[in-house]
Every structure is written in C-alpha cells, then in structure tokens.
Amino acid sequence: MRHTGGCLCRALRYEAEGAPSFSGYCCCGDCRKASGSGFIPFMGFSASTVRFTGEARQFRTRSARGSEAVRNFCPACGGLVFGGEIGKDSSFTIYAGSLDDASAFQPQVAIFACDRPGWVVLPPGLTAFDGMPE
C-alpha cells in the first residue's frame, strides 16, 4: 500500500509506504488554528516509510505534552502537509487533507475531543480521548 500526496501547488510532495500506525482527528486548539477548521485529520507513519520531495517551511509551537510540535507547509502555496522534523523525528504525521486519494483515510480516534467545537460532528465508531492517549 502506498499513500501519496502534497500541497495545493504540488511543490511539496510525499510518498508513504504501508498502512498508517494510527489515524484520526485532532481537535486541539492549535490544530484548529493551523487548519482553519474544527480539527486536523492525521495519519501516523514511521519515518523510514516516508519520503518527501520539495521545500518545506516549519512552524513550531509547544505541544500539549510540553515538547515542540513542528508543522510543515509549502512556502509557495501555504498548504499544510505534515508534522515532524525531517532528519530528527522517528515518525511523521501526514495531514489527511493532503492525500491524493482521500478515501485512503480511515479515522480510528479523535484526540482532544473535549476541545471540539459543537459544530464538529465526529463519525460514529471513533474512540474519543479528552487529551492525548498514552
């Protein structure tokens, strides 16, 4: 199984091999602000299974766990594509809205569900966590 995707202008691209290790929705305030929506849909992959091409810019913030959160976006179109730092992190979070085939996204969880706006309706069957699961 191969997942491909990238930004709106196609300058920043990725290929991820295999099934994601986790997938879901993050409803935290930072993800809402970064996406301009009620959540960010995400898929987690081991760094060894993902290859990126093109230039990425990073925006860094403090995560809910107190570590640094790195969000990568295209410097040309501004499209938000993935989380993590190339060459440093052992895994990456691909933002599902950047997938070429949106049907590849199969959410399993919702994290920071306690921060979810009332107008965001989660699909039935998701396991919801008030924060980040252990």
| Residue 67: predicted pLDDT | 81
Give the mean model confidence (pLDDT) for residues 1-9. 97
68 pLDDT above the threshold of 80 = yes
Q: Among candidates 123, 95, 109, which has minimal Cα distance to 35?
A: 95
Instruction: Say which residue, 50 or 134, is predicted with more confidence.
Output: 50
Domain edges within the chain: 2-128
* Amino acid of residue 122: L
Q: Write the DSSP symbol of residue 52.
A: E
Q: How confident is the model at residue 134 (pLDDT cuts 50, 70, 90)?
A: confident
Instruction: Say which residue, 26 or 62, is predicted with more confidence.
Output: 26
Its sign, for the CA torsion 55, 47, 86, 38, is positive
Tell me the pLDDT tens digit for each residue of 19-47. Answer: 999 999 999 999 999 999 999 999 999 99
Pick the CATH number of 2-128 from 3.80.10.10, 3.40.50.720, 2.170.150.70, 3.40.50.300: 2.170.150.70
For the whole model, what pTM was predicted? 0.92
Tell me the pLDDT tens digit for each residue of 86-128. Answer: 999 999 999 999 999 999 999 999 999 999 999 999 999 999 9
Give counts: helices (H), strands (E), the chain.
1, 11
Reduced to 3 states, what is the DSSP secondary structure of residue 102?
helix
| Residue 66: predicted pLDDT | 78
